[in-house]
Structure 1
C-alpha cells in the first residue's frame, strides 16, 4: 500500500500536501471516520493516513491521480460489500471515490462498524 509523492510525518501534513480538492474530500471522510470510531488514532502508516482502532489498523486513506481511496484493509469485508454500496467503486479491498463526492456518513459508518467488528473479533479471542 506504499504510495509515492506525498511523504508526510502526520495526517494533517499529508492532507496539506495532496491537491486541495482531494485533501478536502479526504478530510471529510477522515472526520466522518473519527466521529464513528471510538478513540480513533490518526497515524501515517505505509506513507498514508491510517485510522487505528484498539491499536490495529482499521482503514487508510490515499489519493491517486484520478481518485481518492478508502483502503478497507480487509478483502473479506470488500467481498461482503460488493454489489451493496451505492457510491464509490470497489477495486480489490479499496473503495475509490471522486474528490467532488466524498463518501457519505452512511457508507463510512457501514465500513467502519464492520471493520471494528473484525478487529474486535480478532482481539477478543
Structure 2
C-alpha cells in the first residue's frame, strides 16, 4: 500500500482487494446500525469510529482484519468464550480472512463499547 495519508474510510477501503473491502464494509455497517450517531474518522491511518470518545477501529492485513481499541478488562472477560480461537491482545482481535466474519460477535462488541463510552457498562 503506497498511499498512507487517508482522509476518509472510503479511501482506506479502496486500496484493498474487493473481498477485504466487503469484509470491512460489513464492520462499518454494523457500527452504524448499533451506534447511528458514530462519527467516521481516520486515526493512526486506519478507520475509526467516535462516539463519546473512541469507539472502535478496524484495519486490514494480508491474512486478517483486526477490530481494535484499548479493550477494557470487562470487555475481554465478557467475551472471553466468544473470542476463543481468535488471536486477541489487550488492544486487538484478529479475524482471519479465510473464515467468515463473526458478525453477531462484532455487533455485540460494538454495543458493549457503546455502553462503556456512555458509562453504563
TM-score higher than 0.5: yes
RMSD: 2.3
Give yes or no for the alignment of 1:40 onto 2:27. no
Distance 1:38 1:73, change over 3 A: farther
Give yes or no for the alignment of 1:51 onto 2:49. yes
- Which segments of 5 or more consecutive residues in structure 1 lack a partner in the other structure? none
Report what 1:63 is aligned to.
60
- Contact persistence 2:39–2:49 (CA under 8 A): yes
Deviation at 1:109, TM superposition (A): 2.1
- Which segments of 5 or more consecutive residues in structure 2 lack a partner in the other structure? none
Q: Which runs of 4+ in 1 moved over 6 A?
A: none
Aligned length, in residue pairs? 117
